[in-house]
Amino acid sequence: MEQQTHHRQSAIEQNRVFLWTAVEKQNVPSSDHARAAVEALKRWNEMARPHPAEATAVIQFDIPRKLWMDKLANAGQNPEIATNDHFTVGHVYISRSADAVPICAHLRQLVKQFGFMLLFESTRPTSDESVLFWQIAMLPSDVFSLSDRLFRLAAAMERITHVRVASLSHVHVIYESAARNGLLGEPDLSHPFLASASTFAYIGRAGAPLRYTRLGSAGLLVHSAETPAPLIEPLVYDHGYSLLEAARLTFMPSEAKQQPKQKYSLFVASFDHEAIWMTNAADTLWKTDSSARIVIATEPYGDAAQPLAAGQPLALTRSVGGQPKWLDALRLEREVSVRLPNRRTVHVPTAF
């Protein structure tokens, strides 16, 4: 155990980054899962204590339905609305130096303009009081092109000065902080009703080799500097590809068509009901397979952790019923090869 702890501290010192992802095998949200994610954040913060607190900290959960039933009930709304598949939650951060009253009024106008009915809103300082946290819940007037509308709404919101959208989704919520321990003070993360079936957490200090980028309105990308991550979003939103299809086109092009392969060191992404982990460097991602969940992180999690093989992607997709399906490199290739003929249009680039 001493040797393992020393390995983790050395890795943190060297990489200045922490990535922890977990997926429940039965896809059943649980408070135990959420607590495990928060405990992982606490452990990393303890080991990183000698270093500066400034960092980008991000955590993505499935929408915690029971927590939102409680929030809606306390706001005088029907709590069952939170169980609607199209129930949407937004996390928006507003600079403390700005006048939040007119900004929130403008944001409400945009919500209505894009065809959503606002059900809940609250505004409060973050735990470190660096920014204001505007949290909302809403329902769409119709579900036509819902993901695309949320993407365009998030973009419209961020055209307002001093506004940063962390997430706007009917699938996920994302919390952000500018301090590595800032997430630990977020009240929702200590709420007894917080539950999730999947979690992606990232903390990166200044100069960290792995960067965080929001994908669309609530997806998550963690990637090394040399990874052409910006290519993914246009494929998803401009050309209608899924995350796995976009990753396949970008990083694993068909040899038969002699498409150039993009260079990458590490790429991790979560979007809608899919996720993918890829690395071409040894000992950069570690997988722990337990009876309840699979954990993939930048540090070994438990004694049974095994490094992901370099150059061998691991992917996750969920069926219509929500059951997770894990895909190794061969199965991923087969899965995407079946999909691509039905996706391709004359406007989609075939090489990058």
Each residue's pLDDT tens digit in the chain (352 positions)? 333 444 444 444 445 789 999 999 999 999 999 999 999 999 888 887 766 678 889 999 999 999 999 999 999 999 999 999 999 999 999 999 999 999 999 999 999 999 999 999 999 999 888 899 999 999 999 999 999 999 999 999 999 999 999 999 999 999 999 888 889 999 999 999 999 999 999 998 877 888 899 999 999 999 887 777 788 999 999 888 999 999 988 887 554 444 445 566 889 999 999 999 999 888 889 999 999 999 999 989 888 999 999 989 999 998 777 789 999 999 999 999 998 887 655 344 433 2
- pTM (2 decimals)? 0.90
**For the domain that residue 273 is a member of, what is the CATH number?**
3.60.20
Say if residue 17 is in the same domain as residue 93: no
Q: Would you say residue 87 lies in a domain? A: yes
Say if residue 106 is in the same domain as residue 250: no
Q: What is the pLDDT of residue 13?
A: 46
Q: Would you say residue 175 lies in a domain? A: no
For residue 198 the two structure tokens come to 């999947």
Structural domain including 148 reads 64-170
Phi, psi of 198 (to 5 degrees): -150, 150
Q: Would you say residue 33 lies in a domain? A: yes
Say if residue 267 is in the same domain as residue 327: yes
Domain limit, last residue, from 170, 197, 216: 170
The label of the residue with tokens 């919500």 reads 111
Q: What is the pLDDT of residue 108?
A: 98
Mark residue 10 as left, alpha or beta (left: phi above 0; alpha: psi -120 to 50; beta: remaining): alpha
Domain limit, last residue, from 121, 146, 170: 170
The label of the residue with tokens 């075939």 reads 350
Q: Would you say residue 154 lies in a domain? A: yes
Say if residue 197 is in the same domain as residue 153: no
Comparing CA positions, the residue from 133, 135, 136, 168 lying closest to residue 149 is: 168
Say if residue 194 is in the same domain as residue 231: yes
**Calpha distance 322→64 (Å, rounded):** 16
Q: What is the pLDDT of residue 190?
A: 95
Per the structure, how many domains does the chain have? 2
Q: What is the pLDDT of residue 349?
A: 44
Q: Would you say residue 118 lies in a domain? A: yes
Say if residue 203 is in the same domain as residue 155: no
Say if residue 70 is in the same domain as residue 56: no
Q: Would you say residue 191 lies in a domain? A: yes
Q: What is the pLDDT of residue 264?
A: 66
Phi, psi of 99 (to 5 degrees): -85, 105
The label of the residue with tokens 């010192």 reads 13
**Calpha distance 303→184 (Å, rounded):** 26
Comparing CA positions, the residue from 268, 272, 276 lying closest to residue 227 is: 268
Q: Would you say residue 221 lies in a domain? A: yes
Domain limit, last residue, from 139, 170, 201: 170
**For the domain that residue 99 is a member of, what is the CATH number?**
3.30.70.260
Q: What is the pLDDT of residue 99?
A: 96
Say if residue 227 is in the same domain as residue 347: yes
Say if residue 151 is in the same domain as residue 185: no
Q: Would you say residue 100 lies in a domain? A: yes
Say if residue 265 is in the same domain as residue 336: yes
Say if residue 6 is in the same domain as residue 56: yes
Q: What is the pLDDT of residue 273?
A: 92
Say if residue 123 is in the same domain as residue 154: yes
